[in-house]
Amino acid sequence: QKEVEQNSGPLSVPEGAIASLNCTYSDRGSQSFFWYRQYSGKSPELIMSIYSNGDKEDGRFTAQLNKASQYVSLLIRDSQPSDSATYLCAVNGAETSGSRLTFGEGTQLTVNP
Amino acid sequence: DAGITQSPRHKVTETGTPVTLRCHQTENHRYMYWYRQDPGHGLRLIHYSYGVKDTDKGEVSDGYSVSRSKTEDFLLTLESATSSQTSVYFCAISGAYEQYFGPGTRLTVT
């Protein structure tokens, strides 16, 4: 079992729809969770961090965390073509030291005009 | 944008030659990381540093070494480059938990 798994892509949604990206993790003691966006040929960009159970909203983005189910998700409302990118889930586990992160392989999202 | 630069941005080298990649930060962050990114593998940690002269191995450290003599600089060295080290290399920095990435270095080993 991979430490961090993301829903297989690619994911395609029409403009204006809600895009739902999912991530599960194996380390039950994980405390910090992050979503990165990576455009083709560019570096990962941090878009959301979440540390406690529940929802965290930032503009069109909502991160949801359920530690009991070891599940974190990212919802993108009113999806725009500019949201087309690969989204990476990252987790800071209890088994890792300091601020080390384990990344999922990413989900490629395409928003069609 | 976090103040992180990487040099060179692109490099082509031959098998067996040594290569050094540089990461420079202006944020005075404690932690610095080197990752490689390959299709089908995602981002994998090579080495990281938690302070000047304090470094540790990541999950894919074989064939790589690092040094950090100043807070702002973290060097990644491929002692003898191999074709399997052809990749995109990212440096990241962190003050606590959130990591911020540099622009990356595309390395090709022929």
pLDDT digits (tens, 9 = 90+) for A43-53: 999 999 999 99
- Give the per-residue pLDDT at A9: 81
Q: What's the pLDDT score for residue B97?
A: 83
Q: Which residues contact B2 (CB under 8 A, 6 or more apart)?
A: B25, B27, B93, B100
A93 touches chain B (CB under 8 A): no
Kindly give, in sequence order, each residue whose CB lies less than 8 Å from that of residue A2, ignoring residues fewer than 6 positions away. A26, A104
A90 contacts on B by Cβ (under 8 Å): 99
C-alpha dist (Å) from residue B20 to B7, B17, B23, B87, B105: 9, 10, 10, 14, 11
Residue B1 scores a pLDDT above 60: no
pLDDT band at A105 (very low <50, low <70, confident <90, very high): very high
Of B40, B56, B90, nearest to A43 by CB-CB distance is: B90
Instruction: Estimate the share of chain B in helix, then strand, then coil, as percent rounded to the nearest 5.
Output: 5, 60, 35
Checking if the pLDDT of B9 tops 60, the result is yes
Whether A104 and chain B come into contact, CB under 8 Å, resolves to yes
Sequence length of chain B is 110
pLDDT of residue B2 exceeding 80: no
Per-residue pLDDT at A104 exceeds 90: yes
Which of B42, B48, B97 lies nearest to residue A103, judging by beta carbons? B42
Q: Which residues of chain A neighbour B94 with C-beta distances below 8 Å?
A: 99
Residues B57, A103 contacting (CB under 8 angstroms): no
Q: What is the pLDDT of residue B42?
A: 86
Q: Which of A45, A90, A98 sits opposite B31 (nearest CB)?
A: A98
User: A18: which DSSP letter?
Assistant: P
Tell me the mean pLDDT in the region A7-29. Answer: 93
**Lowest pLDDT segment from A65-74, A87-96, B53-62, B100-109:** A87-96
Q: In degrees, to the nearest 5, what angle opens at C-alpha A66 toward C-alphas A64 and A70?
A: 120
Give kind and range of the element (H or E) at residue B7: strand B4-7
